[in-house]
Chains A and B, each alone.
Chain A
Amino acid sequence: MAADAAITGAERRSARAVLAPLVLLALMLVAACHPPPPPPDPSLAQPPEGPFEYPWEDPIVATVVGTPPGLRAALPENVPVDIRLLPLLPGRDVPEVFFYQRGLIYTLSAQPGPAPLVLIIPGTGAGPTSRLVDVLTRIFYAGGYHVIAVPSPTFPNFAVTASTTGVPGRVEEDARDLQRSLREAVDDVRTRIDIKDNDISLVGYSLGGWHAAFVGWLDETAAAQPIGFRRVLLINPPVNLYSSSRILDGFIDKIPGGISGLPMFFEEVFKTLSSLYTSSTSPSDLTSDTLYQAYLKLRPSREVLAALIGLVFRLSSTDLTFTADVIGDIGVLVPPEKQLRISTSLTPYLTHGLYYGFTDYLRNLLYPYYKRAEPSLTVEQLVAEADLKRIGDYLAANPRYRLITNADEIINTPAELAFLEKTFAGRETIFPRGGHCGNFQHTHVVAAMLDALAEERR
């Protein structure tokens, strides 16, 4: 009997040894079948205690490195993001080389129940899946909003699929194309999400903030089919598109020799980063915090950081120059008769296009394009048009508008900052530090963003 029992016990144990991992697996399977979307987190909107602390005195460092992990708000990681397409502009003939531009890309982050909706317009050259849009999406999703993001008109996808001219950069046309795209996106999702009280707000950062101001103005004063925004929030906007572009274009000269010095600069940066990569302990070390860690380790000079800002901006203007050149049939980089196939090498156009900053885009593409139909048009006129001051009185008198920016913003002159402060007086939040969009994840800034869209202002 005793012996029998012992054998049975051993068998049971071995059976348990086999079953235990299986049961564990089954439990994990059940537990993870439907990961729920993160619920709204009201603590993010609480006015944070203590003064605004932010370590980077230099706005250039702030712009590149961003908020250190210890000062960041606890944003949810697993926000659902559905990437969707709106149909091509009717009648748009897409050249073969852009065969993959099948429609306007936008993203939807849907709350499970009824909720107000936030629409996001990104900054220069950014699409709806860019890093800062992701941060804003997580902020407003955690704040309890559905979130939709469209591309900036300066993003190639927008130029090909949604820009009426194919040559973005003129404010009336861009605002009209944006307003139409936003409206179509909202209509497209109405069957999928429940927009509580039809409550829709518009948020834009950087160039997108500037666009948001004009889209809100157009929507209220001139749109045939208005969307109707409860709030319009401008984050780190330029005042004049081209004066800000000139500042950022100038950063490329921080590379010794300007863009012609790019090879040397690239090899230098690559060598430095590669030493970091080859000495890291795991091949998967290069993650999202890498930039911050790399900064702490390498402490690059402000010249190098400014050059990086200039380079990122230049890659955007190169993309836009090529795209607008092809879609608008301008012929600056690509001869108009040239047929670009999938198999056509674009390398020569990249090499040439890297010499085009946004200022060059204005002079050599946008201006000639519009001068065809308006012979008396001047470059100065285009520059003067692209200015928030044009709608300054409207913005000053409109209680729906909010502003968040930084005192050390690099894309505005002191006079332009003064204009913003005066125009949005009482509806503005100006942080002492953060450079250009360098403090988005900061607890204080997150709270300010959510507060700006809140029903009642504290």
Chain B
Amino acid sequence: MKRAGHAERLIASVMIVSLLAGCATPVPFREGNPPLPEREPATTVEELVTVYDPLEGLNREIYAFNYEFDRLVFLPVVGVYETVLAQPLRDRIHDFLGNLRDIVTFANLVLQARPVRALQTAFRIGVNTGLGFFGIVDIASAVGMRRESEDFGQTLGYWGVTDGPYLVLPVLGPANLRDTTGYVVDSLALDPLGLLANLHTGLAPYAWARTSVNAVDTRANTPFRYYGTGSPFEYDYVRLLYTRKRELDIIR
């Protein structure tokens, strides 16, 4: 009897969440999608494949370094992670980290002055934290709630900051000056654990542990492999597509 009671309550809560999510999902208006910033469309093949990349030589060296780092360190570590922890457990870690990441998204939506999406994101954080055992089960996605993904690079872009020179960051990969700045701001100021670790040095080990697990989790969930396309022009294609995709991320 007791067990049935638990189960009923769980089902009831899930139903309530689904109903709420059902109400929340269709956004009545596309909130604050800024127009694509005016970029002169390319007219020649050369213009099309060219991205502002004043540090290209260094960037290509770092791209090559990342390949070696991936091969010799990162992917083997991911392999151990995947061997030691079973998929369902890794999923719980992934969901937990995703819930923490949603806080950064929320902060950036506030900074972009987009209240509807910010509230939706706050609601999804609440659902996952409350009903999803402090975020280890992403119930919100399971019931079809939309997940936004915003970082401070996008926030800067939203307010009109252009991307600046293209950069390849060690370990982290493709970026540009705007997104690198955004990454630093996200990690130090907008991420709650990062912020707390800045204020209390005693928390620094937790922040580092989270960053490390986050890195492994992200790599495990990123199918990209350096030089995996087989094309000798992969650097150029990645540079072009990264730049264009970030434009879309900003207006989306």
From the candidates A98, A99, A318, A343, name the one contacting B233 in the complex (CB within 8 A): A318
- In the complex, which residues 196-252 of chain B have their Cβ closer than 8 Å to any Cβ of chain A? 226-228, 230-233, 235-236, 244, 248, 251-252
Q: How far is the CA of A347 from the CA of B61 in the complex (A)?
A: 15
What residue of chain A has the Cβ atom nearest to residue B25's Cβ? A281
Interface centre among A35, A129, A155, A278 (most CB of B within 10 A): A278
Task: Check B230–A28 contact: CB distance below 8 A.
Answer: no
Task: Check B58–A319 contact: CB distance below 8 A.
Answer: no
Task: Check B230–A282 contact: CB distance below 8 A.
Answer: no
Contact partners of B47 in chain A: CB under 8 A: 263
Interface centre among A157, A283, A353 (most CB of B within 10 A): A283
Instruction: Given A28-B88, A267-B41, A270-B244, verify A347-B57 contact (CB < 8 Å).
Output: no
Task: Check B46–A155 contact: CB distance below 8 A.
Answer: no
Q: Mark A287-324, 1 if CB is under 8 A from B, else 0.
A: 00000000000000000000000000001001100110
Contact partners of B43 in chain A: CB under 8 A: 263-264
Task: Check A263–B88 contact: CB distance below 8 A.
Answer: no
Task: Check A156–B231 contact: CB distance below 8 A.
Answer: yes
Q: How far is the CA of A318 from the CA of B44 in the complex (A)?
A: 17
Task: Check A319–B231 contact: CB distance below 8 A.
Answer: yes
Task: Check A351–B49 contact: CB distance below 8 A.
Answer: yes
Instruction: Given A21-B133, A156-B230, A278-B248, verify A263-B42 contact (CB < 8 Å).
Output: yes
From the candidates A13, A29, A343, name the one contacting B60 in the complex (CB within 8 A): A343
Does A344 have its Cβ within 8 Å of any Cβ on chain B?
A: yes
From the candidates B2, B49, B88, B252, name the one contacting A350 in the complex (CB within 8 A): B49
Instruction: Given A129-B228, A351-B46, verify A25-B233 contact (CB < 8 Å).
Output: no
- In the complex, which residues 65-100 of chain B have their Cβ closer than 8 Å to any Cβ of chain A? 67, 85-89, 92
Contact partners of A260 in chain B: CB under 8 A: 44-45
Contact partners of A353 in chain B: CB under 8 A: 233
Q: How far is the CA of A104 from the CA of B251 in the complex (A)?
A: 42
Q: Mark A152-163, 1 if CB is under 8 A from B, else 0.
A: 000111000000
Instruction: Given A13-B2, A342-B60, A351-B46, verify A32-B87 contact (CB < 8 Å).
Output: yes
What residue of chain A has the Cβ atom nearest to residue B42's Cβ? A263
Task: Check B92–A25 contact: CB distance below 8 A.
Answer: yes
Q: How far is the CA of A156 from the CA of B234 in the complex (A)?
A: 12
Contact partners of A31 in chain B: CB under 8 A: 86, 88
Instruction: Given A28-B88, A32-B86, verify A346-B133 contact (CB < 8 Å).
Output: no
Task: Check A28–B236 contact: CB distance below 8 A.
Answer: no
Q: How far is the CA of A423 from the CA of B13 in the complex (A)?
A: 67
Does A388 have its Cβ within 8 Å of any Cβ on chain B?
A: no
For chain B, the count of residues having a C-beta within 8 Å of the partner chain is 45
- In the complex, which residues 9-37 of chain A have their Cβ closer than 8 Å to any Cβ of chain B? 13, 21, 25, 28-33, 35
Task: Check A281–B146 contact: CB distance below 8 A.
Answer: yes
Q: Mark B88-121, 1 if CB is under 8 A from A, else 0.
A: 1100100000000000000000000000000000
Task: Check A350–B64 contact: CB distance below 8 A.
Answer: no
Task: Check A346–B235 contact: CB distance below 8 A.
Answer: yes
Contact partners of A264 in chain B: CB under 8 A: 41, 43
Contact partners of A319 in chain B: CB under 8 A: 230-233
Task: Check B88–A29 contact: CB distance below 8 A.
Answer: yes
Q: How far is the CA of A360 from the CA of B2 in the complex (A)?
A: 77
Does A381 have its Cβ within 8 Å of any Cβ on chain B?
A: no
Which interface class (under 10, 10 to 19, 20 to 34, 35 or more) fits A? 35 or more
Does B33 have its Cβ within 8 Å of any Cβ on chain A?
A: yes
Task: Check A100–B226 contact: CB distance below 8 A.
Answer: yes
Contact partners of B50 in chain A: CB under 8 A: 347
What residue of chain B has the Cβ atom nearest to residue A32's Cβ? B86
Does A394 have its Cβ within 8 Å of any Cβ on chain B?
A: no
Task: Check B230–A351 contact: CB distance below 8 A.
Answer: no
Interface centre among B44, B89, B149, B233 (most CB of A within 10 A): B233
Q: How far is the CA of A266 from the CA of B39 in the complex (A)?
A: 14
Task: Check B57–A343 contact: CB distance below 8 A.
Answer: yes
Task: Check A322–B230 contact: CB distance below 8 A.
Answer: no
Does A345 have its Cβ within 8 Å of any Cβ on chain B?
A: yes
Does B48 have its Cβ within 8 Å of any Cβ on chain A?
A: yes
What residue of chain B has the Cβ atom nearest to residue A259's Cβ? B45
Task: Check B89–A25 contact: CB distance below 8 A.
Answer: yes
Does A132 have its Cβ within 8 Å of any Cβ on chain B?
A: no
Contact partners of B56 in chain A: CB under 8 A: 343, 345, 347
Enumerate 13 A-B pairs (CB-CB under 8 Å) in ascending A order: A25-B89, A25-B92, A28-B88, A262-B45, A263-B45, A267-B41, A274-B248, A278-B248, A281-B146, A283-B252, A319-B230, A343-B57, A347-B56
Which of A's residues lie within 8 Å of B, judged by CB?
13, 21, 25, 28-33, 35, 97-100, 127, 129, 151, 155-157, 259-260, 262-264, 266-267, 270, 274, 277-278, 281-283, 315, 318-319, 322-323, 342-347, 349-351, 353-354
Known: A278-B251, A283-B252. 7 other contacts (CB 8 A): A25-B89, A263-B41, A263-B47, A278-B33, A281-B25, A343-B58, A346-B232
Which of B's residues lie within 8 Å of A, judged by CB?
2, 25, 33, 36, 41-50, 56-58, 60-61, 64, 67, 85-89, 92, 133, 146-149, 226-228, 230-233, 235-236, 244, 248, 251-252
